[in-house]
Amino acid sequence: MTRPFNFAPGPATLPLEVLQQAANEMLDWRGTGMGVMEMSHRSKEFISIAEQAEADLREILSIPSNYKVLFMQGGAIAENAVLPMNLSRGARVDYAITGSWSQKSAKEARKYADVHVVASNESDHHTTLPAYGSWQLSDNAAYVHVCSNETVHGVEMHELPDLAALGSNAPLVMDCSSHIASRTIDWSRVGMAYGGAQKNIGPAGMTMVIVREDLIGHAMAITPSAFDYKVVADNGSMYNTPPTYAWYIAGLVFQWIKQQRETTPQGELTGLAAIEARNVAKAALLYGYLDESGFYTNPVAVNARSRMNVPFFLPSDDLNDAFLAGAKAHNLLQLKGHKIVGGMRASIYNAMPLAGVQALVSYMKDFAVSHG
């Protein structure tokens, strides 16, 4: 059987090599007589898996040593509450609204802190990125929250705001669920980054929190201990039983990222640089075709188009069912758009090869010819 190309927004496709390795190790991890799911999180075997995964993530993303890497649960939606509990001290916090995910984050944070909206693209139907210079930043915010890639609306920040240059001394906090490990991160601009694993780094059930040490240790008294960043950090993410299997799979994905090679006009790239170059090429191919097709459209401003999540529309919604049925017959799965945007959406995360995007574009061309 040929493996179909799966464009799901999350949980999403994983690298075939990772799934094969996990399958081979399912019943017996390296001669221990146990699968990873069956191991104590405090066993030396699992500790070695956990430490290697963290070390690999630190290496891939060049995470500075004064940042903690926490392996938590609850997803980014739980973080919408956990973050203000940990970092706001109940005071003023700034939120930029760039799509449905940041909107959700701001709404939840209002339960715990004084939320101030610094900018919003709502009047543009979340298809633009408000110019950073126009943001109405507070003088005294505990942090400034952004969603650096809006999974539903397909809006990505290709350069993070430099808050210090904009006159704010608050740390930037970003929900990077759907593009974590797809590109480098400029940590000099970031106080905390968080995201669920199920888009780009593994199965659902694990949340990554990467937080600068000096920001933690001031959680509200109501914060559940299992969600207090300081408690989690002091216990090596093992205050409660962590999502061990998801942690292990993420570790395999990090190894896979490190092994990637890509030959480009700039020479041979490896690891995250190879992944990023491939993501740029995949996005260029798909957006390039959408723009020249005269049939399909993408509504997002060019400077804000996501490399990971590409919403697009057919000339009429009456064609949607035929498009999806034909796609499935061509082994192209899960292209239906999110219900609040409609149309189609191709999520082209790290694990989607260029061949998958080529197959999608080829199908789209044929469909446009036969329905144009």
* 3-class DSSP state of 243: coil
Q: Give the H or E element holding residue 168.
A: none
Distance (Å, whole) CA 163 – CA 210? 18
Q: How far is the CB of 216 from ligand PLP (least distance, A)?
A: 21
Q: Is 345 one of the binding residues for ligand PLP (CB under 6 A)?
A: no
Answer yes or no whether residue 199 interacts with ligand PLP by CB under 6 A: yes
Task: Provide the mask over 176-195, with x wherever binding to ligand PLP is found by CB under 6 A and - wherever it is not.
Answer: -xx-----------------
Choose which of 61, 72, 76, 344 interacts with ligand PLP (CB under 6 A).
Answer: 76
From the candidates 175, 228, 230, 247, give the one annotated as an active-site residue: 175
Q: Which two tokens stand for residue 45?
A: 């075997």
Stretch that binds ligand PLP, among 16-24, 173-181, 270-278, 279-287 (CB under 6 A): 173-181
Which residue has the closest beta carbon to ligand PLP? 75
* Omega prior to 84 cis, within 30 of 0: no
Q: Which is nearer to ligand PLP, 87 or 174 (CB)?
A: 174
- Is 101 a residue that touches ligand PLP (CB under 6 A)? yes
Q: Which of 68, 199, 230, 336 is catalytic?
A: 199
Distance, CA of 166 to CA of 317 (rounded, Å):
42
> Helices 75-87 and 100-109 sit at what angle, rounded to 10 degrees?
40
Among 196, 202, 251, 337, binds ligand PLP (CB under 6 A): 196
Question: Contact 92/114 with Cβ under 8 angstroms?
Answer: yes
Output the smallest distance, CB 67 to ligand PLP, in A.
Answer: 20
257 binds ligand PLP (CB under 6 A): no
Residue 175 annotated to the active site: yes
* Known catalytic membership, residue 101: yes
Judged by DSSP in three states, 122 sits in: helix
Q: Which of 56, 94, 101, 230 is catalytic?
A: 101
Contact region with ligand PLP (CB under 6 A), list: 25-33, 171-179, 210-218, 361-369:
171-179
Tell which one of 151, 237, 279, 306 touches ligand PLP (CB under 6 A). Answer: 151
State both tokens at 1: 């059987």
- Residue 11 binds ligand PLP (CB under 6 A): no
Distance between CA atoms of residues 116 and 93, nearest Å: 6
For residues 63-102, b (16+ Cβ closer than 10 Å) or e, as one string? beeebbbbbbbbbbbbbbbbbbbbbbeeebbbbbbbbbbb
Give CA–CA dist 90/220, Å, rounded: 8
> Minimal distance in Å, beta carbon 9 to ligand PLP?
7
Under 8 Å between Cβ of 46 and 241: no
Q: Evaluate whether 119 touches 130 at the Cβ level (below 8 Å).
A: yes
Helix (H) or strand (E) holding 96: strand 92-97
By annotation, the residues acting in catalysis are 101, 175, 199
Q: Which residues contribute to the site for ligand PLP (CB under 6 A)?
A: 10, 75-77, 101, 147, 151, 175, 177-178, 196, 199
